[in-house]
Amino acid sequence: MINFNGTYVLEGSISPLKLVEKYGCPLYVYESEVIKRQYDRLINAFKVPDLKINYAAKALNNINILRYMFSLGAGLDTVSIQEVQIGLKAGFLPENIMYTPNCVSIEEIGQAVHLGVRINIDNISILEQFGTLYPDYPVCIRINPHIMAGGNSKISTGHIDSKFGISFHQMPLIHRIIKATGLHVDGVHMHTGSDILDIDVFLQGTEILFQVAKEFENLSYIDFGSGFKVPYKEEDIETDIEELGEKITNRFMDFCTEYGRNLTLMFEPGKFLVSEAGTFLVKVNVVKQTTSTVFAGVDSGLNHLIRPMLYDAYHKIVNISNTEGRYRFYTIVGYICETDTFGVNRRLHEISEGDILAFYNAGAYCYTMSSNYNSRYRPAEVFIFNGIDYLIRQRETLEDLLNGQVEIENLKPMSHPAYS
Ligand SMILES: *Cc1c(COP(=O)(O)O)cnc(C)c1O
């Protein structure tokens, strides 16, 4: 998280401007210190005997970030078979990988069985097929508790019309399948979506999951998913993890007593662990004044950071090349041939062409959602690990853009009449 001490600095007193000189622009930078701070906050908040934090790989999936999570003691939460494979390659043990797919085929789930990871099933049809094919393989069941959490309907996953999870009203059906197939359920799960603003709403969801859990005799864990909110603006409220931790810890311990056994408490945060650890650095190509607006056009766009356009995400933006000039209002836009506005009417120190701007909260769902739209290269990634900067992904080249394309011989220019 880029800090201001007269100039902007990152972990290890590293200057982001120096990183741009060294690695070029645009550039994603992540700080290990911030990830560790957030991980420790979770560990300290939930004081149960068995806690497992499974990092949601989809937020930021560079193999070095995964390995860093592993070194902290985290497991991995995955949503595709490819994420499972990358997780195994990073060094996670199969039992520390949770596979929580949605609407994938039974064949893909079969591959996960083969790899030996934990499997979380989120619909009745797959549960039935799974029970028939793999009756001896323990599974977790994703329950939809029908609570409305989350700041935006696209990231809210627990409400009644959501495509995620099996409704807790369908418990009789779940039991019938288990009885018919002999399936062993070893965990129950919920994930209500991003941005928990109201702790009480989240606690209502956990009560529903406890009710469900009581109906299974041989559980070894309960997974409450994620949705922990981090601040994007100064005045933003974040999920009060310490308060949530205290409430859930007490209730969970009581539940274990009632259940007659100690269970593992699991969470699977993505954003909470990596959002603030990331900074995105871009260069201003053009300052353009229209009758109503001053635009700052940067060397990036929705191809590198789509969250503002996709779900109105707010990213704080500062001018790190000019820390003292007067403030002016700018609308920060990208270079893509489509409206790609990063921020409207932002107050920044006066911008000159060539200045470097830094975007906050660029760790989660930023690089992983990037694309090559407009035939642009995706940015390089740098990880500051124990105060030293490492290049962890090269900037792309033209070969990367053409990679995988298969050329038809008869369409090659040399075979065109115009060339003969
Ligand atoms: C995306 C996802 C998460 C992580 O959500 P965050 O809001 O980034 O913490 C956790 N669990 C599941 C099943 C997910 O799909």
* Domain range list for the chain: 2-29+275-402, 32-272
The pLDDT confidence band at residue 192, using thresholds 50, 70 and 90, is confident
pLDDT tens-digit map of 165-186? 999 999 999 999 999 999 999 9
pLDDT of residue 147: 79
Distances (CA, A) of 53 to 25, 56, 223, 368: 34, 9, 10, 21
Q: Strand pairing partners for 279?
A: 29
The preferred substitution site among 191, 192, 223, 266 for testing ligand 1, maximizing ligand atoms within 8 Å of CB, is 191
| CA 306–ligand 1 middle distance (angstroms) | 18
Fill in the amino acid letter for 419: Y
Query: Is the pLDDT reported for residue 294 higher than 60?
Result: yes
| CA 143–ligand 1 middle distance (angstroms) | 15
Q: What are phi and psi of 167, to 5 degrees?
A: -60, 140
User: Residue 374 contacts by C-beta under 8 Å, 6 or more apart in sequence?
Assistant: 301, 303, 335, 336, 337
Q: Which atom of ligand 1 is nearest to the CA of 59?
A: 8
| CA 56–ligand 1 middle distance (angstroms) | 6
Q: Which atom of ligand 1 is nearest to the CA of 155?
A: 7
The preferred substitution site among 140, 194, 267, 369 for testing ligand 1, maximizing ligand atoms within 8 Å of CB, is 194
The preferred substitution site among 38, 58, 238 for testing ligand 1, maximizing ligand atoms within 8 Å of CB, is 58
Determine contact, residues 97/88, Cβ cutoff 8 Å. Answer: yes
Determine contact, residues 262/45, Cβ cutoff 8 Å. Answer: no
Domain 2-29+275-402: top CATH class: mainly beta
| CA 27–ligand 1 middle distance (angstroms) | 25
Burial of 54 (0-12, 13-18, 19+ CB in 10 A): buried
CA distance 210 to 190: 11
The pLDDT confidence band at residue 415, using thresholds 50, 70 and 90, is confident
Averaged pLDDT, 344-352: 97
Pocket of ligand 1 (CB under 6 A): 56, 58-59, 77, 79, 100, 191, 194, 225-228, 268-272, 364
| CA 402–ligand 1 middle distance (angstroms) | 32
pLDDT tens-digit map of 126-153? 999 999 999 999 999 999 988 765 544 5
Q: Which atom of ligand 1 is nearest to the CA of 275?
A: 8
Say if strands 341-349 and 166-167 run parallel, antiparallel, or are unpaired. Answer: unpaired
User: Residue 18 contacts by C-beta under 8 Å, 6 or more apart in sequence?
Assistant: none
Tokens of 223: 């997974």
Instruction: Report the share of the chain in percent with pLDDT over 90.
Output: 85
CA distance 242 to 409: 63
pLDDT of residue 199: 86
Query: Is the pLDDT reported for residue 82 higher than 80?
Result: yes
For residue 94, say if its preceding peptide bond is cis, omega within 30 degrees of 0: no
Q: What are phi and psi of 388, to 5 degrees?
A: -120, 140
| CA 193–ligand 1 middle distance (angstroms) | 7
CA distance 333 to 190: 37
Say if strands 27-31 and 8-9 run parallel, antiparallel, or are unpaired. Answer: unpaired
Q: Which atom of ligand 1 is nearest to the CA of 273?
A: 9
Whether 337 is catalytic:
yes
The pLDDT confidence band at residue 115, using thresholds 50, 70 and 90, is very high
Residue nearest (by alpha carbon) to ligand 1 atom 15 = 79
pLDDT of residue 157: 58
- What is the CATH number assigned to the segment(s) 32-272? 3.20.20.10
Catalytic residue among 103, 140, 256, 337: 337
Q: Which atom of ligand 1 is nearest to the CA of 228?
A: 9
pLDDT of residue 257: 97
Query: Is the pLDDT reported for residue 57 higher than 80?
Result: yes
pTM: 0.95
Distances (CA, A) of 355 to 320, 323, 349: 8, 11, 11
